[in-house]
Amino acid sequence: MAAMTAKQAKAVAERYQRAVELVNEGRVYRLYGGHEGDYVVINGQGVAYLVNVISGECTCPDSQYRCARLDILCKHALAALIVHEQAKPGTGDDPQPQAEPEELAKARELLEYLF
Ligand SMILES: [Zn+2]
């Protein structure tokens, strides 16, 4: 991994500060039933952005332009990442256990075998 430039560090620091605020304001929502790692973040103006914490992509203009150029995450992606890491299995915060899709697949396999 290449070292981060001071310019990148400054840009991340600015966005991280705002990301923590977004989390504290309850503006980050996990999306169930879509792609793994999908979140919706709603900004102060009520505009919703779709974030994927696995790819680090966000639909906001900052992510498409400045963040893409600097190779950093936007504030929405950082906010979703904070929530995502807080909700990791074992903490008891996640109402949907991660093993569930695998168990469903196994159950389906068993049903196909039986009938
Ligand atoms: Zn964004």
Q: How far is the CA of 114 from the centre of ligand 1 (A)?
A: 47
The strands making up 38-42's β-sheet, listed across from edge to edge, are 28-30, 38-42, 48-52, 57-58
Distance between CA 111 and CA 97 in Å, rounded? 22
- Confidence band of 101 (pLDDT split at 50, 70, 90): low
- Asked if residue 52 belongs to a domain, the reply is yes
- Ion ligand 1: protein residues whose beta carbon lies under 5 Å: 58, 60, 63, 74, 76
This prediction's pTM: 0.74
| Whole-number pLDDT of residue 67 | 97
Give 92 Cα–ligand 1 centroid separation in angstroms.
28
**Number of domains making up the chain:** 1
Domain residue limits at 54:
6-114
Q: Is the pLDDT of residue 96 over 70?
A: no
